[in-house]
Amino acid sequence: MNEHFRPVALEHASRLINHGPTVLVTSAAGAQRNVMAAAWSMPVEFTPPRIAVVIDKRTFTRELVMASGAFGLCIPGAGLADLTYAVGSTSGRDGDKFSRYGIEARPGPVLGLPMIETGCAAWLECRLISEPHAEEAYDTCFAEVVAAAADERIFAQGHWSVREDNAALHTLHHLGGGHFARAGAVIRAKPP
């Protein structure tokens, strides 16, 4: 779908979210699908790559994730700030957000989840790690990353390359109330 997307080695998948970007959580079960924004996600293991994301138990997304045992994390670029806010502020129970907002998605290569590439810096396709006690008690979901890809204009060879010419793909960081910060300047530390 996006000619700039390339597979990311699973050993580098954690780098896609280790800086705390806002993510779009995609889900599908049967004929239903959904997308929502989430501000809290993080890597928790390197090999195999495992992640955690907070998905409120009352959401339509959580319902679909529990039914399918899988979800996607798409990392929107700054150019998708309005869309990210919109999908995070509306419910999928009121209709398909992909159709409502004109979001194009491709099926993920392993689990067939809807993965968003246009306007996104990267995505991770994830298989839920079932933990009945945690699922009942908490909003945090744990998953193993089974596939990942990134737009080579901002992430290549296992590293981010944040530059002025790729500003629309800089990741978003939720500040609350529809406000986001954009990853922008990279500072390189001197070796000790």
| Enclosing H/E stretch for 11 | none
Q: 51 pLDDT exceeds 90?
A: yes
Please tell me the least confidently modeled range out of 30-39, 67-76, 179-188.
179-188
b (16+ CB within 10 A) / e for 131-156: eeeebeeebbbbbbbbbbbbbebbbe
At residue 48, the pLDDT reads: 93
pLDDT given at position 11: 95
pLDDT given at position 1: 66
Domains of the chain: 5-182 (2.30.110.10)
Confidence of residue 186 (pLDDT cuts 50, 70, 90): confident
Could you check whether the bond before residue 21 is cis, i.e. omega within 30 degrees of 0? no
| Digit-coded pLDDT (tens) for 52-105 | 999 999 999 999 999 999 999 999 999 999 999 999 999 999 999 999 999 999
113 and 125 Cβ atoms separated by less than 8 Å: yes
Residue 3 falls in which region: left (phi positive, over 0), alpha (psi -120 to 50) or beta: alpha
Q: How far apart are the first and last CA of the chain?
A: 43
Confidence of residue 185 (pLDDT cuts 50, 70, 90): confident
In this prediction, residue 184 carries a pLDDT of 79
Q: Does 26 have pLDDT greater than 90?
A: yes
pLDDT tens digits, 112-158: 999 999 999 999 999 999 988 888 899 999 999 999 999 999 999 99
Which pLDDT value is given to residue 84? 97
The pLDDT of residue 132: 86
